[in-house]
Amino acid sequence: MKKCFKLLAATALTAAMLSGCANQAKVEPKETPAPQTEKQTEAPAAAASEEKKTEADKSAESETKKEAESENAAKTEYEPVHLRVAYMPNMGSASAIIAARDGGYFDKVGITVDLVQFQGGPAEIAAMASGDIDISQIGHGAHALCIEGQAQIFGLDLYGKSDEVMANKEKGIEKIEDLKGKTVAVTAGTSSEIVLDLALQKAGMTRDDMELVEMDANGAVTAMISGKVDACATWSPSTNIIREKMGDNVIVLAGNADFFDQVAFPGSFIVTEAFAKDNHDAIVRFYGAVLKAMDYRKENVEEVCRWLAKEIEADPETIIATKDNYEWLTAKDVEEGLADGSIKNCYESQQQVFIDSERIKEKVPVEDYVMFDVMGEALELYKTIE
């Protein structure tokens, strides 16, 4: 406490001054409140406002936040990737790739593609082995080469039902058994070859009962129409062209649908093991974009048919006529198939068909050649692509 005055020797004055100082000491000083900061002023108001928010408000804010996060993810800068992609000129092989390219989904993940046309899966795999192709889409038959270790499957595309064994009725053919001694055109390693094998097996026959002639799809069409072969195993749009040109003279002896109880006929995206190791991110991005394209294809299949027709310089109506020859899968189908194990079962049953026909000698774990992890990662990426 401050001294009020300097004390003097006089007793009376000292007493008086001490009394005055004592009275001052008893007075409680008034404290001036510290000025509130802006944040301190706003805090109670914000808390009160938060309490007043309805559940609908909070839900709306949550959705806005999710949309912002999704938009930010979609704006991810991707390192540009250029891929050489093999396809066959039909909806079963090319539709998802064309939809991903022309629909702009590859652009969204920083991918550009060069599309290269082939007539069969085995030729595509050979081109990948030589380094001329990075990614291929194959039908059921060429999956045997994946089981043998020549390629790795990283994405399921669709299930096919376009393969048929067709015959010329003018050659006296009405059923599979009538193929004995006949000339049959086939493309080795394809889904249609598998359908032919299954049909022969069901009839108690073997390939030795007929003369098989190796031809690509285009050659089979020409040979059938000209009568140079008695029958053929092929797929759409070749089957549609043969029907159109031969009319009532052609008969269908067997097709995929006859064997759905034994096996599915998947179309898949594949790479070599070496390419997969060095380009994991690229194939995840590729399949993520394809999954978006698969959704689009499902809802806009005729438009995708027209895109493909333009790419391969075909009559659009011929391609549109094949749109019901496939089971068009979506990203949801793939997600559910991974979760419930049905995709794994599909590839296992497919392998069993190859074993039963002695195309594959011994069972191989599906995980050895199907990259389920890539499918899962691509599904997560798919959810961020607008």
Domains of the chain: 81-160+263-382 (3.40.190.10), 164-259 (3.40.190.10)
What does the pLDDT average to over 239-252?
93
What does the pLDDT average to over 215-243?
92
- Is 316 or 32 the better-scoring residue by pLDDT? 316
pLDDT at 62: 58
Flag whether pLDDT at 177 surpasses 90. yes
**Could you tell me the CA-to-CA distances from 175 to 57, 172, 189, 262 in Å, in that order?**
68, 9, 24, 21
pLDDT at 192: 85
- Is 98 or 24 the better-scoring residue by pLDDT? 98
Mean pLDDT of the residues in the chain: 84
What does the pLDDT average to over 199-227?
93
Q: How confident is the model at residue 262 (pLDDT cuts 50, 70, 90)?
A: confident
pLDDT at 187: 87
* Percent residues over pLDDT 90 in the chain: 67
Q: Which of 7-21, 55-69, 228-242 has the highest mean pLDDT?
A: 228-242
Helix (H, G, I), strand (E, B) or coil at 57: helix
Are 342 and 146 a contacting pair, CB within 8 Å? Answer: no
Q: How confident is the model at residue 381 (pLDDT cuts 50, 70, 90)?
A: very high
**Could you tell me the CA-to-CA distances from 130 to 24, 86, 150, 269, 363 in Å, in that order?**
103, 13, 12, 18, 27
Helix (H, G, I), strand (E, B) or coil at 233: strand
Flag whether pLDDT at 19 surpasses 90. no
- Dihedral-angle region of residue 106 (phi above 0 means left; psi in -120 to 50 means alpha; beta otherwise): alpha
Neighbouring C-beta atoms of residue 80, cutoff 10 Å: 8
Q: How confident is the model at residue 302 (pLDDT cuts 50, 70, 90)?
A: very high
Helix (H, G, I), strand (E, B) or coil at 363: coil
**Could you tell me the CA-to-CA distances from 146 to 59, 310, 338 in Å, in that order?**
48, 31, 19
pLDDT at 11: 34
Flag whether pLDDT at 14 surpasses 80. no
What does the pLDDT average to over 204-233?
94
Where is average pLDDT lowest: 41-45, 77-81, 165-169, 378-382? 41-45
* Percent residues over pLDDT 70 in the chain: 80
Q: How confident is the model at residue 61 (pLDDT cuts 50, 70, 90)?
A: low
